[in-house]
């Protein structure tokens, strides 16, 4: 069946704010609200004219589990605009776009606000199972004697060693590997050195700094908190990033012997990104001038222990379906969960073995021109608020393509649990 294109009318994101071992200044719904209202006030239609709001979020807080609806109401979309939440780990934001696309293509919606958010710095500390059992016994104790008995069983060590919700989220639930350990797997498999990873990471920062200097982050709208503090830029980007300092960092995931460090991984951050998607009919009705269109999308599954290769598995079918080679794509955004993981994707496409065994191709797909990849830096520099990143790369790719005056781009993302997502983007100009 022909993929009916869906238009991207406009988009905006918050600056990505680095987690600093304590809850950041904004909750997830605050972030989505501030980016969303800045985006909506510049439209020629009212928030109430939207058909639905879809928000991807990997870790909504317990009081905002359907955060999509919470934010829709906070944005003034009114009672009648439905809002919902999607979750596909690191691709939750891209899933929101794809769900909007599906509803637009089958005629259920014409105009959709879709995006992603996460406030990872607000991830909760949890009680261990043992502590929860203790609380349950305490609740059931009726007499003073029973209560004293239960109280005596309390082990302070359990009380004082909570489960860190964020680490749970970043651990594969089937194989028990930390995401960083899956990146170590790829580094081992494709023989990616610590030096290559660090060099890639320095490049990510340098590109982000350069892009900022020439105003290439026009999609970023500032945040303001109740104290009047303005946050206008991604605060994890380091102009002083260099090989020497990165090389001093210790491996974090496979301690002592590994290669993946916090410096060559994406940063734990808080942020939100939104796009407005529209059908052809909505574009005509509101006389919209879209940034571009999404012409194809693809999801793929693979071994969870190799999850970082997800972009390869998702983007390849799109290229095949559209009769395109790697070099036919003018610009690429591959989310930088880990420097090792992006480098592994490039290596996989260049590998005859991998392309033959895993993708069913006769030989290697080829070399992705490095100058076309993540031209304004990636998540290693700007951060990776899990649910927001999928929406961010699609939005930024459109901006970068318009800047470079090119036609075709692919945004792809790896997904914890062993999946990948990709979208083919075209500018309309």
Quote the strand ranges of 237-388, DSSP E: 269-278, 292-301, 331-334
Pairing of strands 292-301, 419-427: antiparallel
Distance CA 12, CA 33 (A): 11
Of 49 and 350, CB closest to another protein: 49
3-state secondary structure of 419: strand
Catalytic one among 57, 77, 345, 414?
414
Nearest Cα to Cα of residue 386 among 358, 417, 408: 417
Nearest approach, Cβ of residue 10 and another protein (Å): 11
Nearest approach, Cβ of residue 37 and another protein (Å): 5
In this structure, are residues 189 and 150 in contact, taking their beta carbons and an 8 Å threshold? no
Q: What are phi and psi of 72, to 5 degrees?
A: -55, -45
Distance CA 72, CA 113 (A): 9
Nearest approach, Cβ of residue 288 and another protein (Å): 15
Residue 64, number of CB atoms within 10 A of its CB: 17
Of 253 and 274, CB closest to another protein: 274
Of 10 and 196, CB closest to another protein: 10
Of 27 and 110, CB closest to another protein: 27
Catalytic one among 77, 90, 345, 355?
90
Nearest approach, Cβ of residue 11 and another protein (Å): 15
The torsion angle over the Cα atoms of residues 32, 35, 40 and 42, rounded to 10 degrees, is 180
C-alpha distances (whole Å) from 88 to each of 96, 100, 122 are 9, 15, 19
Any bridge partners for residue 273, and if so which? 13, 116
Of 112 and 220, CB closest to another protein: 220
Residue 350, number of CB atoms within 10 A of its CB: 16
Catalytic one among 216, 313, 384, 396?
384
Nearest approach, Cβ of residue 228 and another protein (Å): 3
The residues, any chain, with a CB within 8 Å of residue 326's CB and separated by 6 or more, are: 319, 349, 365, 366, 367, 368, 369
The residues, any chain, with a CB within 8 Å of residue 107's CB and separated by 6 or more, are: none
Nearest approach, Cβ of residue 423 and another protein (Å): 28
Nearest approach, Cβ of residue 5 and another protein (Å): 27
Distance CA 334, CA 342 (A): 7
Nearest Cα to Cα of residue 429 among 392, 411, 404: 404
345 an active-site residue?
no
Of 45 and 84, CB closest to another protein: 45
Q: Which residues bind another protein (CB under 8 A)?
A: 33, 37-38, 41-42, 44, 46, 74-76, 222, 224, 226-230, 232
Of 72 and 202, CB closest to another protein: 72
How far the first Cα of the chain sits from its last, in Å, is 25
Enzyme catalytic residues? 90, 384, 414
């Amino acid at each position: 069946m022909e993929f009916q294109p869906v238009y991207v009318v406009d988009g905006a994101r918050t600056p990505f704010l680095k987690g600093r071992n304590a809850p950041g200044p904004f909750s997830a719904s605050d972030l989505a609200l501030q980016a969303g209202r800045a985006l909506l006030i510049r439209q020629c239609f009212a928030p109430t004219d939207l058909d639905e709001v879809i928000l991807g979020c990997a870790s909504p807080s317990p009081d905002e589990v359907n955060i999509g609806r919470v934010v829709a109401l906070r944005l003034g979309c009114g009672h009648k605009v439905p809002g919902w939440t999607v979750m596909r780990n690191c691709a939750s934001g891209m899933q929101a776009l794809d769900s909007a696309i599906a509803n637009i293509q089958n005629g259920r919606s014409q105009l959709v606000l879709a995006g992603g958010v996460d406030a990872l710095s607000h991830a909760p500390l949890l009680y261990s199972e043992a502590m929860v059992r203790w609380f349950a016994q305490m609740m059931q104790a009726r007499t003073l004697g029973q209560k004293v008995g239960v109280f005596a069983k309390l082990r302070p060590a359990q009380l004082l060693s909570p489960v860190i919700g964020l680490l749970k989220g970043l651990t594969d639930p089937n194989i028990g590997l930390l995401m960083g350990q899956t990146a170590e797997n790829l580094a081992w498999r494709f023989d990616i050195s610590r030096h290559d990873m660090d060099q890639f990471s320095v490049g990510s920062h340098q590109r982000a700094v350069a892009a900022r200097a020439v105003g290439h982050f026009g999609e970023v709208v500032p945040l303001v908190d109740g104290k009047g503090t303005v946050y206008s830029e991604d605060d994890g980007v380091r102009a002083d990033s260099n090989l020497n300092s990165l090389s001093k960092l210790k491996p974090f995931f496979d301690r002592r012997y590994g290669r993946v460090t916090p410096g060559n991984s994406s940063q734990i951050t808080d942020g939100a990104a939104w796009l407005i998607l529209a059908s052809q009919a909505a574009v005509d009705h509101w006389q919209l001038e879209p940034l571009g269109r999404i012409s194809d999308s693809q999801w793929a599954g693979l071994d969870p222990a190799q999850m970082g290769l997800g972009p390869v598995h998702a983007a390849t079918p799109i290229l095949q379906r559209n009769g395109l080679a790697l070099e036919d794509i003018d610009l690429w955004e591959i989310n930088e969960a880990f420097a090792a993981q992006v480098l592994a994707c490039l290596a996989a496409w260049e590998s005859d073995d991998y392309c033959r065994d895993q993708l069913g191709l006769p030989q290697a797909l080829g070399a992705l021109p490095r100058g076309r990849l993540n031209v304004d830096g990636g998540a290693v520099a700007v951060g990776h608020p899990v649910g927001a990143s999928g929406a961010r790369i699609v939005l930024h790719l459109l901006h970068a393509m318009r800047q470079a005056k090119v036609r075709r781009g692919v945004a792809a993302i790896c997904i914890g649990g062993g999946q990948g997502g990709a979208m083919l983007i075209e500018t309309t100009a």
